[in-house]
Each structure stands twice: as C-alpha cells, then as structure tokens.
Structure 1
Amino acid sequence: MRIVASVQSKRGSSRGLVHYIAHSKLDPEREPPNSRELFNAFADQLSVKSANNSLKIGVAKDRPTNDELHHLVLSFRDDDYRRLGANEARRRKAVKQIVRAAMKSLEGHANADRLLWTAAMHRNTANPHVHIALQKQYFANECERQALSRVPREALPHYVRRDAGKSLVLGYLIEAAGEKMDTIILRESSRRRAEKMIARSDAAEDRSRPGESMKTKEEIGGRFASERNVLRDAILAEYEIRRIDSRIDRLLEHGDRMRFTVSDPVRGGKMRVSLRELEAKSSDTESDQHAAPSVQIKTILRKMLAREDASRIQIQTDSAGVLEQADRIRSEYRKTGRKLPPPSLTKEQLDLLQERCLEGVEMRRFSYLERVRNELERGGEIAPRSKYDLRSIIAEKTIAELRAHAHEKEHAELRAKGYYRRTDVGGDRAVSMAELDRDEKERDASGGSFFAKLKDKFVRRSNETRIRAGERDSVDPRRLIISKLGEELANIQRGRKLELSKAKTLEKILTGSSEDRPTEGHYSPLQLAEVEVLSLPLGQRAEYESSWQSQRLLVEAADTDCSAYRRLAKSGPTADFAAHKLQMIAGRALAREIVADVEVGKATEDLKVFRDSYRFLRHPVSDPESGAITYMCLHDVDLPQSASLLDRTMHELFEDRERRTLRRAVESQAKEREKTLKDDLARATEIAKSATRDASEFKSYSILGLFAEPSHRPIFTSGEIAMLELRIANTRNASEASHLQAVVESASETPLRSLTDLLRDFEGSRPVVAEDKKTEPKVHDDAGLRGRERVPETRSAHDPTPRTFPEHGR
C-alpha cells in the first residue's frame, strides 16, 4: 500500500496527546527544533494550547483527556512524498491537503456536521507520517451530539469475504488520501513539464536570435497589462451574469410574495398587494373578484422574467470573447504554477463587487476580491478604504451578527416546538406529531371488537412492510415530519454559519485597518430597517436604540435635496418642512412604542402558557447511542407526585440509572426553556421602556401626570400592521385584541409603506453619520426635536392630522 492508515493505542505524555504529537522524539535535522507545526481542518501553525482548545466540546475548561480522543496515523512512502513538490515546503503543504481530504471523507461517512481534529507531520523516521488526534464526540448533521466510540472498520484496511476467499479493502480513509495524493502528484508533474518546455522554448528562441533579446520589457509589460484588463472585464461580466441569475431565482421562488400596485376591482383606485395575499383572500371568499388583479400581477412577473432573461443573453453574447480569453489566461497560469496577476479593477468597481458578494453571502469570492484590493493598494493603484467605507463595513458586520443571532434563536425555537409544529405530509394535509399521538391514543382508547383490532393491526403491519420497501415518506407521516424538521434545522444552521463567517471576515478587515478606526457604522435606509426588524424580537436593546437614533438623525438632517421635501413642496408654498419632519419622527416613535408593547405581551403570554402546562410540554431528548430523537414531558419521567415523602425517597433510591438520566435530561430541557422565556420577557421589557422614553416627548400629560395623550398620529409600516393583525388573531387577552384592533383600523386611513421607503424619502445626497455620538446633531429649534423633557403639545398650523386615533400611553 502506498499509504498506511492505523489506529494507535492510548499513549501520550502527561500533558496530553496533542503535546505528544507536537513534541515527542523531534529530529533536529529534519524537524523544527522546538515543536512541530500543528494544523487542523481550518488553520495552520497552531500552538498546543490552541489545538487543545479546538478539540474541546461545549464549555469544558480542561484540555481533552486521552480517553476522549482517537489517535490515528497516516504513513507515506518516501518516494511518493518526494513527488509531492519541488521542495520541503510544498511537500508539507501537500500532506496537509491529503490529511484534510482523508478527514473530510471520515466526516462524511460519519454523517458529522464537523469532526474536531488536530494533526502534525513527523519526519523522525524513514517514512514520513502524520499523527492525528480526533475528538470522539461530534454533532451530526441533524444537530444531535453523537460519539465515535471507535473508528469504523470500513475506514481502515480490512478483509472482506468474496466468493471463495478474502480480499483486502483499503478503506475510505486511504482511498480519499490516495486520490488526493494522485491529483497533487499529477499537478506537480504537469507543472514541471510546463516549466521545462518554457525553458527549452526560451533557449531555442535565444539561439535563433543571438544578437537580440527574447522580449523587451515593454512587450512583457504590455502583455501583462492586457491580461489584467481581460481578467477585469471577465470578472465584471461574470458578476453581472450572477446577479441577474439571482434576480431570476428570486422572481421564480418568491414572486408570489412580492407586492405590486394594481387596480382594485372592489373599491376602485389602486392597491398594493401580492399574489399570495390575493390567493388567500380568494380562498376565503368564493367570488372571482380577485381574478383581475391576479392576472395583472402574473403579467408583471412574466414581463420582469423576460426582461431579466433578455439582459442575461445580451451580456453573455457581448462578453463571450472576454470570458474565453480569461479562461485561457487562467489555464495558462495554472499549468505553469505562476500566480495570476491582479485584475486592473478600480476602487469603485471593487466596492460594488464586494457589496454584491456580501448581499449573496459569497464569502469566498469576497475574500478573493479582498486579496486583489490589498495587492492593488500596496502597488499604489487604488486608494485605501476611507472612514466612510469602514463605517459601511461596521454596519454590515453588525447586521451579520444580528442575522446569526436570529438564526440561533430560530433554531432553538424550532427545536423546542418541533413536536407541536404542523408539517405538510402530502395530499394537502398538514399535521404535527402531537396530533398524531393524540389520534393514536384516541384510537387505542376507543376499544372496539376483536376483529376491528385485528384489522387495525394487519393494516399497521402492511404499512411497515411498505416502509421497508421504500415508501417510508408516503406512508409514515411521523418519519416524514422528523425528516423535514431535521432538514429545516440543518438549513438554519448553515445560514447561521454563513453569517458568522461573514462577520469574522469583516472583523479581520476592520482589525487590519488604520488606528483611527471609526466606532459607529453608516447604515443605508434598508439596513436601518433590517436592524430594527431583527433587534426587536431578539431583545438587542443597544442595536434597537442605535437604529432609532440613526433614523432620527437621518430625518432631522434632511434638506431640500430629499424626495420628502420635493413631494411636500408640490402640496403648496406654505408647507412647513420642519413640521413634516417632526410629524415623521413623532409618528414613528409612537408606533414603535405600541409595537414594543406587543412584544412584551407576547413574551408574557408565552411564559404564562409554559408555566401553566409545565409538566405536560414535551421536549426533544436524543438517544446517545442511536441519535434518535424522542419527545418526552416531565409527567412521563418524573417521580410520582401524589406519593408521600417516604415513598418518593424510596422511588428515587431504587430508580434505575437509565430512567434517572432520562428524567434529568427532560428536567434540564424544561428549566432551560423557562430560563429562555424569562430572559426574552426581560429583554422585551427593557426595549419597551426605551421605546416609551423615546415616545414620551410627543405626548401631552395631565396636570398630575397620570394620563398621557399622544400629540401626533402613529406612523406604522406595512410589516408592523401585519404583526399587529397576527397578534390580534393569536392573543388570549380580549382587551389587548380590542385595543390593537382600534389601532389597526385607525392606521388603515393612510396608505402603508415599508420602513425602508419611509426613510428613503428623507435621504439626501450627502451621507449623515454622527461622529462617535460625541456631539448632538444640529436640529431645528422650532421643531423641538431633541427635547428630553415632557413637552406640551405643539401642533403646527399646517399639520392636518386629526386627533381621532386611540390613546395608547403606557
């Protein structure tokens, strides 16, 4: 065998297996004098401490013990090792790639989301070999913790019986490593042949023209610049094609959710609605009054798709020659092992391309463009990032962290409520595991004749037979629900990892920037809206307050170059722009207070429902051996509640170990869930207090300060109204539902818009950023926008807002 894979017996120094791998039996001639270089799946040049930390599970404080790790060794023949590269550095780099490919194969066969391992290459024997410390515990793709009690037999060399004898099977570890090694050897040999051919060609050309140099510096420079221009044009074309593809995918997947302005056949005029909303309304009412708007929206969507497809074809046709030249240049540099020259992109082009990469979470392409940017900056071809650019990166990083937090919360909520969540199981049927269990209990409790029970048992056996025959998903709804739940949880985890990767990459850029790095981000209206939408349900008070301050600053600083001013000027020469800005700020502050109070109501109700049904709510418990998930409640596993203290003590003393472990697991899940709900309520309350303080300056108070009446009409967004309507439908508090219904009816008098559109109206040509919040921005004195005390009602003469909306003071 060209590669030998084996599992070593437990060994290691008193400092652990990782220390043994890094320091044992160092060869001073062929190895570093102090320590070997440790590496893992993601990093090189790890210290022993960092490597041990990377192998920890959960919040363990100590380094992993030898019993928690597997010790693997991959050995190579010396002649194969020498063919991996022209020098020792290239060979060591190739060995790392081989080990990573082998461990990736083990990861896939173990159905692991990620295996934790660290390794070091040893050159203290005739055959180069790699020692690997592998953590036994890991998380499966279904996000369940499992243990690799032993390295699978199929991963290592073993014999299998075939026909009359035995044959040796290398195992997938060696197969993956050998495949990667062959690829590297072939690449290196091709590179060496290409270098020899170039050298012979250069020598022949020099001999044919002895008095003349092969190429002048001008010719080489001209070709180099031409290649860079081709690569630039190809990258721009590729990104434009990719952007059009993403828009087409978005239209195909989410076109039914997009809102369009169409004719309203019922009330006349126009309405802004989506195809999905029309279909929901038509299913509630059997009339065909929504047919005409549906046809309009479908026509708009078809035209948009046709326009995007035509643009894509046009760009592909125009850039076909450039893309072909770029592929040829890349292939030539790859064959000769030379570094590809940086495309001659401008700073504006790089900014735009990297912005698109962040929108699509394409971090590999973003990192490549960042390397190009650094190279162009070092060469003085483009200017470094400005403070405004760094502020934009801070904003992107903040949003990425919020999204990752949102994914984490969504994962926890879905996992906790998966038992009660309805899932589509085919045939226009949506059902939850709780409903399946309830139906099964009712069927068992209903009794019936002997023949009825026999028939039911025969039907179940037939179903099990069909499941084994490959019709599992179509027959067993429970298996289908668990499968879909696992897929959804895995998708959420992938989204979280992408956002964390984005935040980490952006943090590296900020860390490497100059010392006068700004502390505040610059947010576009779209980003401000997203920060508010994410931070409110997550309970991120700092981000929620910062978003409001940025929104307020944007409106206060609006001048005559914004669309809000131009729209107001058309209404008449006496229009007061300062009063209009005050109305916007006050309306948004009052609306935010109501929405924050709704979040408090939801959190309070969730906690009350949990406490009322504490003993009967089911929690997911995974089997440590099989990884199967079972949903259990405290009532199923707890000790008898009605027994005496002595009986309970006896039950606890004679409780078997398996049941005790299960009971403690369920109790832990229940306590953790209660703690999460308490924390959610506390964070929602803090945000509601902050929103109330922001709205207090736009209310008029009674003499004793016991009654507050808002001085402006709340300005809600379309998303907030949808949230209020959902709360009205789901709340158990009739008083809250009545109050919110009045609020929604009052808001229906004005057209609804998104927060992004509202803020864009006040966006001017000059970006507005508060310098690290050190100074308060300049405001209009007559508007009284920044007052922190309770101010009396100050209605402008030009403010036509009626005072008929419901009172909502806290």
Structure 2
Amino acid sequence: MRVIASVQSKRGSSRGLIHYLAHSKIDRNAEPEKGRELFNEFTDHLTVRSANNFLKSNCGKGRPSNNELHHLVLSFRREDFQQLGSTDEERQRQVKIVTRFAIGQLEKSIQSERLAWAGAVHRNTANPHVHIAIQKQYLTKDLQGRSLNKIPREALPHFEIIDGEKRIVDGILIESAKQKLQELVAERTPSREHANDKQHNRNAPQKHDAIEFQKGDGNIREREILRRGILAEYQLKFKEEKIAFLIENRESLKFPIRDPEKAITLRVSLLELRQSATNSEDWSKTPRSRQIIAITNSILAREESEFFKLKEETASIRGEANQIRTDYRKRGVKVPTPAFNKQELDEIQSECLANTKVREFRYLEQVRTDLENKKEIAPRTVSDLELLAGQKAVSEMRMQLHQRQLSDFKDNAYYRKVKVGNDPVSLAMIARQNDIENDGRSVLQSIRSAIEYLTNKPSSRNSKSREVFLFDSVNSSLSEQSLQMHKSMRQEQKIVGALSEVLYRSSTLHTVKPVFSADQIIEIDTLSRKLKFPKEYASNWNLQRTSIQGAVPSQHGAKGKIGPDEAGNLSHAIVGRALAREILCNIGLNKTKEDLAFYRSSKRFHRFALEDKSNGSMSYLSLDDVDLPRKSSILDQALNLLLESKDHRTLRRQIEDRAKDRERCLKADVAAAKELSLNAAKEASEFKQLSLLGSAADLTYQPIFTTSEITEIEKRITMTSSSREAKHLNSLLKHLAGIDGTNFKELLVSVVKLKTKAGSGEERDSTAHEKGGWPEREDVTIGRGIRTGIERT
C-alpha cells in the first residue's frame, strides 16, 4: 500500500481555503455538484460556514485567512481505495477514519491537546486524495498557546541516518495512514457465505415490526417514528441556536480570569480586554486573552461536535419522519399523533418556552390534548400547573420590563449612542458638532471616524452629504434596536397568552398559585427591582429567606435536613444576600435621582422622538423648538397664541405632554426607589449589628451577588457622576474579588433540591412534582420549585 503526504503552497479561492476544499474543480461524474462534504475530528457533515467558524483562531466574524492555515494533502492509490468498501460512500467513510488517525498521531507528536482541522475527500483525479486545512494556533496539553509555524520534519518524508546509511523515512503522517489503511482492509474480508447469510437476514421479515403493526389503531410504528423524529429535530434546533448565540456574542461573554499582577480573579470579556489594550495588535496575545479564546473555542468546539454527532445519529429517523408526514399530506389525511410520553412533553415544552418557541409549544399542546383524550398519558398535575403559573408570572414581569425599556428608549433615542465602526455616536453628537470648537475635538473626531468608516473616504469638515449619511446610519441602527425590543416584548406576550390558555383550560377544578424554580426566584428579584415594585421585591425576599431557613436543621434534627456545617453556610447566605440587596437598591436610588436632576436641568432642550406615520420618518423635537416666543411683550405673546396654526398647536401640546409624562415617570421612579431602599436597609439593619461601626468592607459577613448583579455594579461605576460612589463601589468589587464566596444562585438551587429530597417519602413536600416536570438548564440546575406568596396585581 502506498500513501503520499504533501504540504501545499498558500493558495485557494478568494473565498478562502475551506471554500476551495469544498468547491474547487468538482468532477460532476464522481462528486456532488453542490460541493464536497467537509469533515473533521467530530463529524462527517460540516458546512463551509461551520468549518470556518471552527478554524478561526480569534473571535471575529470573518473566516480564517489562508495564512492562518496549513494545507496538507494525503493521496491514496486507486487500488487501495477500492479495497476499503463496496460503495463510494463506504470508501469515503473509511478514508475519513484514516485521516483522523493520521492527524491524531500528528497531535501526539507535537504534544497538542487538539488541533483544529477540517478536510474534504477529492475524487477528481485518478488517485483519490484528502485536502486538509489545519489551524496553526493550538493549545498544548497544559493549555499553553503555541503556533505551528510549519509542519514538523518528522511528520513528512525526510532523510535519516540509519545504520550509517542515509535513508528516506515516510514520516508520521504516512506511517500512521498506512497502518490504519492496512487495518481497515484486513477487517473487511468476510467469507462469501457469511455475507450471504447477512443479506438473507436483512431481507427476512421482522417479527417485531409485524407485531407492532397489529397493535392499537394500526400505526403504532409510524407514531413512534414521528415521536423520535420530532425529538431529534427539536434537540438539533435548540443546539443550533445555542451555537449561533455563542458565535454572535463570543467577544462580549465574560469569564472569571485570574489577574496575575493583582492576584485576584475578575470577570472580563475579550471586548473589554481589546478596549483597554494600549496596543491593538498585541491585545489578543496576552495571557488573559489567550485563556478566554481557548475557553470560547473549547465551548464552541464541544457544542458543534455534539450538534453534528446528533445530526448524524438522527439523520435516518428524521428522514423517515419527514417521509411519513409527506405521505399523509399527499393523501389529505391527518398525520398520526406522535407517541410521546408525559415526561418528554413536559421537558420539550419547557425548552420551547425557554427558547421562546411559542408556535412549537402550541403544537405540542395539541399533541398533549390528543394523547390525554385517548388516555395514553396522564393530565397535568396541580404541581405542573403551579409551575406553569410561575412561568406565566415571570413572563408578565419580563413583558412589563420590555414596555418600560421601550418607553425610555423613545424618550432618549436622540441621546442613545450606537457603534459606527469602533466609535460610539449619537444623533445629539452629530447635531452638536458644528457648535463645538476647542472643547469638542473628541466628539468631532468620533464623528469623522464614523464618516470614514461608512464611506471609506477621509471626512471633510464641511461635507454635509456625509453627515446626512451618518445621521441616516445612526437612525437606522436605532430603528433596528427598537424593532428588536418590540420583538422581545411580543415574544413574551405570546408566551403569556399560550400559558393563559393552558391554565384556563386545565385549572377549572383547582386553584392554581404560582410556584417558582430557583433561577426564577433570582430573576424575579432582579425584575421587581428594575421595575420598582416594592411589594413584589419584599415578597420575593421573604420567599428566599424562608426557603433557606427551611433547610436549616431544627433543634430536634428533623429528618432530611442538612448538617451544622451546611447550616452555617446558609446563615451566611441570608446575611450576605440582605447586604447585597441594600447595595443594589441604593445604586438604583442614586441613579433615579441623577436621572431626575439631569432631566430637570435640561427639560426645555430635551428632544423627543416623533414618528410620521404617513412615511415612517422620525423627527426629534424639544420644548424649545415648538414653544412660542417668550421674550416678547404680553400683547405679542397673546397675538402669537391667537395666530398659532392648528398643526403647530397639536405638535406643541404633544411635546408638552411628553415632557410632563417624562418628569412624572422619573418622580415616580424616585419615590419607588426610595421605598425599595428603605425596605432593603431595614432588612439588612439587623445583620449590620454583627460588626459595630464597621464599614462595608469590614463586615463580618460579605454581600453575595449574582454574576449579572456584579455586571450591573461595574456598569454603574462607569456611568455615575459621583466620584465618591464610584470609589466606594470599586472598593467593594476589589474586596469581593479576593474572596472565594458562594454564588447565591447555586446555593439557592441546592436549597430547592434539599426541599425536594426532604419532601420525598413520608414528608413529601406539597410542591414537589413528578420527575421531568421541569428540565435542567446548563447555566443553572433548575430545582423542583417552591411555593410563593407573591400575588400579581
């Protein structure tokens, strides 16, 4: 057997090396016209886009350049290729196994944890061959970043001195490829008699299938295929969306990374590291950047490998399910109801709600109704309905938050900054540029940089057309943000509507009160604080506290409770959480006061967005723009008021109403924030006595924040106008960074699990429900749920 390994020069199509591998010089008689199928270590079914994403060394949105990749070719003799299988499909599958083994041996030779590579089998020449693209950047087994500047000499044919003679050695790639090739050919030599037996057994009728067709209504097998096919399709859909999210947001995702200089662990993202870097070319080579890139690439590689593995494993069953649906639709007959069990429906419907797939949720609800009517599955229990009521309450609060954010967006759109190139630009900055001279150079520079980014030409100070172009670009970005916010709000409205229908139909015999899982309790805590709902915020704290205290053992050592060591941790959690809530409420109060004070000082010149419904255009006007002249005499003012046109009067009153509503809302926010702050201070006051006269950093117990709350504090530090507040919050974060504290969300999840365990058996908790009633998410394990006293108004 003979194998040839060679390194190709830097070439490829203008669309990149991966596109070249998939689409170059296709032989239509032997290869697919749409392009060759790509493969890697994990899967045989890669798209060009997926392969490019997999091979990127950074987190940009483009494809890897040809200079970032090595281009290898492994060629085989046609006779050897023919021995690998009876069909071209089987032969290609075996060649991929050979390629994976050869690359695996190359990885071992350079002490690599894993090389990122993708390949394609070419059959457009006399000798079948595999083109392989390998990313130069890789991680060693101890996660140190390395660069494979050239393929090692030992991997390719080379000369060595053996027994005093100069001989050519095949190298690692050829030797390993030959070894695996010989093994596969040796395995594929069954006797003709054995092959005939296999064919006979394959053609024989299957008793199991015959029995299935005789059961029930005669389509049991079809219903089972539909069930498995739908489960596979939904799992693939959820996986695909998760991968898309990772690719889209990988630069902004934060990870806990240890700072070697400060000896503390901080949560940072690649975007923050790039913005804070002094040299834009070297930021990606710092230890922290390389560590985050390694983490994101590892997560993405794992998710994509799981996706393609699942796609490959379920290809057959999904095809069968689609064929069944097609056949029934052609005949105009209703497709059989998939044979789901209750646990599967509970899990997949919960996943649909988590991913805002309301249409899929409604379809599965129809399936559930059919199965319940046929008595094939049990109806939802009271506990199931209580969990759905909890989900509905959370979605209602999300919807209210979206409505508030939309209102704020409309009132502040003129001053909202959007990214144009690398510079944040707002409509207000564009309007001010002609009025600013010496003290506005930074603003002018941002405007000019943005113009250059959009037009690819040096900007001119007097270029009105380019300023209009920039204005339209910013306006377009604002419109996209507004549409996205409307979309999010409508999605929550649909979820609320779907859940309301389920609860209305199912709860006629029961009074359903909402029950929340652990992460929902945390989310309600955040939502009620942002919405300035004092009643819900206080009720949620009572729920958190009683849940934690309920897990602490009594004096009699009740069965199923925790030990004294865990009880101490839970007591710390109650204190730490109370202190954290007070800090967060104070931040909210300070922000609302700042917003109100700033608005009052600039009320007359604050521009509100007004949409022309006839053409969809947007204009921005202030009281100063529409108000009648005030410096004239009383007689002139009366005359102006008398001669004011109807359209102008309508516009002026509209702006005046908007200005009054804005101030009224800000005042209400301040009042609600004060109530929240007072309540939180009262809750925390009993614990502050544990450290008399101590500062926040000197308390016996430290505040416990969730990761999203820490991000909120970091954002406040950059936005506050009070240097004293910024200094205090910075000090707080630095002190917390050196403490290995327990994450409150994880702690609450463990408490909810303890309640479930304690409720099993003789002392079963009334809120516990059957297994599978609520799925587990990757970021936090969902508990069974605990009853709440919160009542929505």
Per the normalisation by structure 2, the TM-score is 0.60
How much does 1:596 deviate? 0.6
1:603 aligns with 2:592: yes
Q: How does 1:367-766 map to 2 (within 5 A)?
A: 367-426=362-421, 428-441=422-435, 476-515=469-508, 517-558=510-551, 576-623=565-612, 625-700=614-689, 712-751=701-740, 755-766=744-755
Q: Secondary structure at the match of 1:732?
A: coil
How much does 1:406 deviate? 1.8
Are the counterparts in 1 of residues 401 and 531 from structure 2 also a CA contact under 8 Å? yes
Matching residue of 1:201: none
Q: Which structure 1 residue ranges, 5 or more long, are not aligned?
A: 1-214, 447-461, 561-567, 704-708, 773-810
Q: Give the AA of the match of 2:491.
A: L
Gap change, CA 1:719 and 1:237, over 3 Å in 2: closer
1:357 aligns with 2:357: no
What is the alpha-carbon distance in structure 1 between the residues aligned to residue 315 and residue 594 of structure 2? 60
Q: Secondary structure at the match of 2:277?
A: helix
What is the alpha-carbon distance in structure 2 between the residues aligned to residue 723 and residue 770 of structure 1? 36
What is the alpha-carbon distance in structure 2 between the residues aligned to residue 289 and residue 265 of structure 1? 16
Matching residue of 1:101: none
Are the counterparts in 2 of residues 599 and 684 from structure 1 also a CA contact under 8 Å? yes
User: After superposition, what is the alpha-carbon deviation per residue over 1:673-717, rounded to whole angstroms, capped at 9, x for unaligned?
Assistant: 1122122222222222332332233243999xxxxx976432233
Q: How does 1:167-316 map to 2 (within 5 A)?
A: 219=214, 221=216, 223-262=218-257, 264-267=259-262, 272-283=267-278, 291-316=286-311
Gap change, CA 1:545 and 1:284, over 3 Å in 2: farther
Gap change, CA 1:714 and 1:317, over 3 Å in 2: closer
Are the counterparts in 2 of residues 535 and 544 from structure 1 also a CA contact under 8 Å? yes
User: After superposition, what is the alpha-carbon deviation per residue over 1:479-506, rounded to whole angstroms, capped at 9, x for unaligned?
Assistant: 1111111111111111101110101110
User: After superposition, what is the alpha-carbon deviation per residue over 1:46-75, rounded to whole angstroms, capped at 9, x for unaligned?
Assistant: xxxxxxxxxxxxxxxxxxxxxxxxxxxxxx
How much does 1:419 deviate? 0.9
**How many pairs were matched up?**
523
How much does 1:330 deviate? 0.8
Are the counterparts in 2 of residues 265 and 289 from structure 1 also a CA contact under 8 Å? no
How much does 1:350 deviate? 0.5
User: After superposition, what is the alpha-carbon deviation per residue over 1:117-146, rounded to whole angstroms, capped at 9, x for unaligned?
Assistant: xxxxxxxxxxxxxxxxxxxxxxxxxxxxxx
User: After superposition, what is the alpha-carbon deviation per residue over 1:593-619, rounded to whole angstroms, capped at 9, x for unaligned?
Assistant: 121121111111111111111111111
Q: Which structure 2 residue ranges, 5 or more long, are not aligned?
A: 1-209, 441-454, 554-560, 693-697, 768-793
Are the counterparts in 1 of residues 582 and 681 from structure 2 also a CA contact under 8 Å? yes
Q: Give the AA of the match of 1:374.
A: T
User: After superposition, what is the alpha-carbon deviation per residue over 1:771-800, rounded to whole angstroms, capped at 9, x for unaligned?
Assistant: 79xxxxxxxxxxxxxxxxxxxxxxxxxxxx
How much does 1:583 deviate? 1.6
What is the alpha-carbon distance in structure 2 between the residues aligned to residue 314 and residue 718 of structure 1? 32
Are the counterparts in 2 of residues 282 and 290 from structure 1 also a CA contact under 8 Å? no
Q: Give the AA of the match of 1:549.
A: N
Gap change, CA 1:473 and 1:361, over 3 Å in 2: farther
Gap change, CA 1:641 and 1:272, over 3 Å in 2: closer
Gap change, CA 1:594 and 1:280, over 3 Å in 2: same
Per the normalisation by structure 1, the TM-score is 0.59
Are the counterparts in 1 of residues 264 and 738 from structure 2 also a CA contact under 8 Å? no
Q: Name the % identity.
A: 33
What is the alpha-carbon distance in structure 2 between the residues aligned to residue 284 and residue 392 of structure 1? 52
Are the counterparts in 2 of residues 698 and 711 from structure 1 also a CA contact under 8 Å? no
How much does 1:278 deviate? 2.9
What is the alpha-carbon distance in structure 1 between the residues aligned to residue 473 and residue 742 of structure 2? 40
Q: Secondary structure at the match of 2:689?
A: strand
User: After superposition, what is the alpha-carbon deviation per residue over 1:360-402, rounded to whole angstroms, capped at 9, x for unaligned?
Assistant: 1011110010111111112221111122211211121112112
RMSD of aligned C-alpha atoms? Answer: 3.8
User: After superposition, what is the alpha-carbon deviation per residue over 1:217-258, rounded to whole angstroms, capped at 9, x for unaligned?
Assistant: 974747411111011110111111112212211221122333
Are the counterparts in 1 of residues 358 and 494 from structure 2 also a CA contact under 8 Å? yes
Are the counterparts in 2 of residues 278 and 290 from structure 1 also a CA contact under 8 Å? no
How much does 1:535 deviate? 1.9
What is the alpha-carbon distance in structure 2 between the residues aligned to residue 621 and residue 269 of structure 1? 49
Gap change, CA 1:334 and 1:761, over 3 Å in 2: same
Matching residue of 1:776: none
User: After superposition, what is the alpha-carbon deviation per residue over 1:83-138, rounded to whole angstroms, capped at 9, x for unaligned?
Assistant: xxxxxxxxxxxxxxxxxxxxxxxxxxxxxxxxxxxxxxxxxxxxxxxxxxxxxxxx
Matching residue of 2:164: none
How much does 1:477 deviate? 0.6
What is the alpha-carbon distance in structure 2 between the residues aligned to residue 553 and residue 609 of structure 1? 40
Q: Secondary structure at the match of 2:219?
A: helix
How much does 1:268 deviate? 5.4
What is the alpha-carbon distance in structure 2 between the residues aligned to residue 266 and residue 725 of structure 1? 20
